[in-house]
Structure 1
Amino acid sequence: MKTTHSNSRRNFMKFVGASSLFAVTPGMAADTTTPHIVVVGGGFSGATCAKYLKMWGGSSVNVTIIEANPTYVSPILSNLVLNGQKTISDLSFTYGDLSSKYGINMIHTTVDSVDKNNQTLALANGSSVKYDKLVLAAGMDFIQVNDYDITKVPHAWKAGEQIDLLKAQIDAMVDGDTFTMTIPPAPYRCPPGPYERACVVADYLKNNKGFNNCKVNVFDANANITIEEETFTAKFAEYGVVYTPSTTVTNVDDSTRTLTYTENDESKTLTSTVLNVIPKQKAASIVFTAGVNTGNWAPINPLSYESVLTSGIYIIGDSQGTGQPKAGHMGNSEAKVCADAILRTLNGVTLYASPKTNSACYSPTSSTEASWITAVFKYDANENKMVIANKGSGAPSTSNYGKMFSWSGNLFTDTFS
């Protein structure tokens, strides 16, 4: 499956004309200061949005990415670090191409505050940045049930050091040990991710380490497996994974790796050799700082991803509250709709009325097989939201395992190169 560009771009080209694109911005005087678009966050959604703003907007826009880290570590394929098939280095991407090829300005720091009246960001490095349009693409954040040490009980849901911490704990397991993972209530980043992790870990313990007496537990806050239920139910049965739905984590003891949870209104505890708690999730902190959230997520206009609370601020990726899945491929797709919408707005052109987004995901279920799922979303004007237009899936196979790397490679290239 290849990452596809938004059809809205082709529609936009009809309005402005390809040969003289953005030489002079329609509806703006030629001596008007070039609009400055600031993107906070350099992941799949932020990097893609910045890239396509410059690809499509050229010299008519200045684009800056504010991202704390000089290197982005992809959560996509990160479960394969746990079984040794990938390393963090394999999944690490820099921003050199975005700077050199597209002229995107990079600032490696964080945002302290947002002055919406003066359209200014105060940065942690002591400087400030003015913006004409602001795109928030900083991913998601966690809601922990208590203040436990995540270096002892890693979530490994943001790739990088956390993945390596969990891998080291798994590698230290001996036959007869217990691995316990918890899944938060939906919505959360990468819907199939926790289920694929349980499969990858169970397969690794049994077929790579040769352990026949290890136990793998999955405690799910949701009433059922949220996605690819048939696939993961079968794989859990094959590996002997003990799956318990409708559980709520109430406390984590990092010193003993003891989980306290409720099941059927009964409080229970379980101590494990390795405890992998994936906390409940919410929009990134910058969304709350900017005051563009309602509850845990940011409501937006699906035609543009502009906040319904504050004009000129756009939210894409994991923090958006559209009901579309929170995943890297979806963030990449949303970013293109957003970039197109921003350029249309700057040029006084009507927003594209029928945007579509698509998301695909391959899930490794062992060291040799992967399943896949895909969905296309379209805008429903009557409901003013994105709805599923069509979807598909494929059972685990070695063929899909190979295709997984083509899919991810296309996505990595489309985002960072």
Structure 2
Amino acid sequence: MNVISRRHFLKLAGASTALVAAVPTMLRAQSATPKGRVVVVGGGFGGATVAKYLRLWGGNSAAVTLVDANPNHVSCILSNMVLDGSLNLSQITFNYAKLQQKYGITFVQGKATGIDSANRVLKLSSGKTLPYEHLVLAPGIDFKPIDGLDFSKIPHAWQAGPQTTLLKQQLQQLVAGTVTGDFVITVPPSPFRCPIGPYERACLVADYLKRNGKSGSKVVVLDANASIVAEVVTFTKAFNQTFAGIIDYRPSEQVLSVDSNRRIITTNKGEFPAGVLNVIPAHQAGAIVRNAGLVDLTAANWGAPVNPLNYESTLLPNSGIHIIGDSQGTAMSKGGHVANGEAKVCADAILRALDGGAPDPVPTVGAACFNPVTANTGSWLSTLFVYDPATKTMVKAVPPGTVEAPVANKDNFEKIFEWSANLFADTFA
């Protein structure tokens, strides 16, 4: 097992700041007093980054309040490596102390329950209200319900934390022989958070079973999509060669129901009993976004439609409500690095608006992801998105569009920790 020591991991996290973004395209004077109040809902890679950069770039131009139901953020990035013991949850858990201390951000632990858009007020479950000039919603994802699915028995582990721990415990039981059968994982219909993630998890679990002498247990991948949707070269090779006879990949499997007590899943093609069942349901935008009427329920993309110049809602224009991260509905992929890039574009646009200006007319968002394939090999994917004024959308740059690592190897594995440490520092430090 390739266990990453806490000391080595934290050294990487503390030493790297390469993802600190280029300065905004418009230089601005520092304000002695705030020109407006910005409230941010959600402290993940989108919300924490936008809060940080509003203060880093704007100084006192904006009074920034960050709201999250939890005191810490547990990163989905690298969370699959917790399953095989390579990392601990503590190594990918971040609090908001540095954002408060270094940048003067006010942190409020609470659940956002409603928006009074006419009066520009955010409502919390505690009864407290937060007035704003700009509201940034970065709540992440919710799941669409599946008949019979009980997450206390059948984990999704697609929101890292206790669910990750539960899935790890069940995987350990499979290795120990306490339970028998296959590890069955579902891939939700696209778009979904971290397109690489389910395939990465399937590979790491297959590698873990293989290294622990459990190659008799297969990893059955039930993909709702017609084919692998990310890193096609890498995962096709992994499924067919590296883990031949262990990974059983099955496309176009639509989940119909789950028997959580017996760990049986039913799809449009039949029943699949499991020793460990990992069901990742279809996604939807966070409740605060849906309940505010910011999602077009008839659209194929379940995210909220936004103007990618400033991420303001197009269903409620001129409202000062912006949506970033997984809940936004552009054609950009959904993931932590993308959310980090969107946050910087959004922060710059809000600061420009507070100065009475227009947003940057040509924003770009770059996204990369380094991911493990085995306990000591890794791969990567990189995409550059640019604004197309003709369609008023973000599109993949041509060239390079999307570039995938030609081969999974040890060098790419080491770079996983450099890349993630940069991203963690850029977001939370």
Q: TM-score of the superposition, structure 2-length normalised?
A: 0.90
- Report the CA distance between 1:3 and its aligned residue: 5.6
Cα distance, 1:4 vs. partner? 4.1
Q: What's the CA shift string for 1:90-126, capped at 9, x where partnerless? A: 1100000000000000110101211111111221112
Q: Is the 8 A contact 1:72 1:93 kept in 2?
A: yes
Percent of aligned pairs sharing the same letter: 46
2:257 match: 251
* CA shift for structure 1 position 332: 0.3
Q: Structure 1 pair 147/35, CA: closer, same or farther in 2 (3 Å)? A: farther
Deviation at 1:60, TM superposition (A): 1.9
Unpaired runs of 5+ in structure 2?
1-15
Shift of 1:211: 1.6
- The alignment covers a number of residue pairs equal to 398
Give me the CA root mean square deviation. Answer: 1.5
My pick for the range that moved more, 238-247 or 272-281, is: 238-247
Corresponding residue number in structure 1 for 2:71: 70
Q: Which residue of 2 aligns with 1:87?
A: 88
**Aligned pair partner of 1:224 in 224, 227, 236:** 227
Aligned residue in 1 for 2:357: 349
| One of 295, 301, 313 as aligned partner of 2:321 | 313
Deviations 1:241-295 (A, max 9, x none): 00000110000010100100013xxxx1111110000000011111012221112
- Deviation digits for residues 190-221 of structure 1 (CA, Å, limit 9, x no counterpart): 000000000000000011x1223111100000
State the 4+ residue runs in structure 1 displaced beyond 6 angstroms. none
Q: Is the 8 A contact 2:76 2:159 kept in 1?
A: yes
Q: Determine whether 1:289 maps to 2:291.
A: yes
1:302 and 2:308 correspond: yes
Query: Quick one: distance in 2 between partners of 1:218 and 1:403?
Result: 27
The aligned residue for residue 30 of structure 2 is: 21
The 8 Å contact of residues 19 and 426 in structure 2, kept in 1 or not, is answered as no
Q: Which runs of 5+ in 1 are unaligned?
A: 25-32
Q: Distance in 2 between matches of 1:292 and 1:408?
A: 31
Counterparts of 1:58 and 1:6, CA distance in 2: 16
Q: Which amino acid aligns with 1:190?
A: C
Contact 2:148 2:259 in 1 (8 A): no
How far 1:6 sits from its partner (Å)? 5.2
Structure 1 residues 216-239: Cα deviation after superposition (integer angstroms, max 9, x where no partner): 100000000001112111111221
CA distance in 1 between counterparts of 2:376 and 2:383 reads 24
- Name 1:400's counterpart in structure 2: 412
- Structure 2: distance between partners of 1:342 and 1:292: 19
Residue identity opposite 1:245 in structure 2: P
Q: Does the 8 Å contact 2:148/2:260 carry over to 1? A: no
Residue in structure 2 matched with residue 325 of structure 1 by the alignment: 333
- Would the alpha carbon gap of residues 2 and 392 (structure 1) be closer, same or farther in structure 2, given more than 3 Å must change? farther
Which of 177, 180, 183 in structure 2 is aligned with 1:179?
183
Taking a change above 3 Å as real, the CA distance of residues 161 and 184 of structure 1, as seen in their structure-2 partners, is same
SS state at 2:110 partner: coil
Q: TM-score, normalised by structure 1?
A: 0.93
Residues 119-128 or 160-169, more deviating: 119-128
Offset, 1:383? 1.1
Which residue of 1 is the match for residue 12 of structure 2?
none
**Aligned counterpart in structure 2 of residue 195 of structure 1, from 199, 207, 231:** 199
